[in-house]
Amino acid sequence: MREKALTIGALARRLNVSTSALRFYEREGLLVPAQRSASGYRLYPPSAEKTLLFIRRAQRLGFALSDIKALLEAEGRRDAGSEVMDIAEQRFLDIERRLTEMLVLRHELEFFLEDLTERLGRVAGDQAGRLYRDLLDRACDHDTHHKAASPLIRLMQRLGCALAGAEREEVFATLRGRHLHIWRDDDGYSILVPGPDPKIERALRQLAASEADCEAHVEPHVSEAEEGYLFQARGANAFLFAQLFLALESAEA
């Protein structure tokens, strides 16, 4: 049975975007109505939903609109493989450059804080030294003696995670190694875990509930999304959840 075309309002509601955003994408040539109704309303094919998801994801990754248009236009063209890969790889290299700058800065800041701790410990006395050792522990995920601890354990300590024992391990075991999408919002981070798996939803809700009373950040929120389950963390320290989920996805978690 042939699927019905979508009005601009229906498409906007299905993906939680504004109609003005859809009109903007249309002006930029990214989203094309299949036809118009007898009364002049835009009608989009069902495939427009997938196209819009692609556009929004590419925007979150920092692709320019011109690049997104080129990627969309290349779909289905046999000779477009090299062009598409060049665009994607260039964006990857841009991110790697920025990431390297931050990793180098963090690396040097760790040693600077260690040096500062030693200086204050000698000059200002033990009390001031302890204050800066506490700062070092929070900022660099380790104490001044570099005690061995897994990245995940250090993140749990920074988060002040309330889950304990077998329950904690059950939650992390469910989420560990799962493919996910993550992006920065204006006031925090969103983590999308694809797939309609009730175990994933239950684990995400347990994790959110365990942090409900934490003063370091706003209570996380879990909801169903078009592609799976969405975990949203807000506030200045929401990046800790982003790091936690990245650690869970990685082999080291």
CB 203 within 8 A of CB 174: yes
β partners of residue 22: none
pTM recorded for the entire structure:
0.60
The runs of H, that is alpha helices, within 160-237 are 165-175, 198-210
**pLDDT computed for residue 148 by the predictor:** 45
Closest of 4, 41, 5, 50 to residue 23, by C-alpha? 41
Measured between alpha carbons, how far is 222 from 219 in angstroms, rounded to an integer?
10
Residuewise pLDDT in 10s, the chain (253 residues): 456 888 889 999 988 899 999 999 999 999 988 887 777 778 898 889 999 999 999 998 899 999 999 988 887 677 767 788 888 888 888 888 888 788 778 777 777 877 777 777 666 566 656 666 666 565 555 444 444 455 555 555 656 666 545 567 788 889 999 989 888 888 888 999 998 899 999 999 988 887 777 665 677 899 998 889 999 988 877 777 887 888 888 755 4
d(CA 19, CA 16): 10
Strand partners for 44 = 6
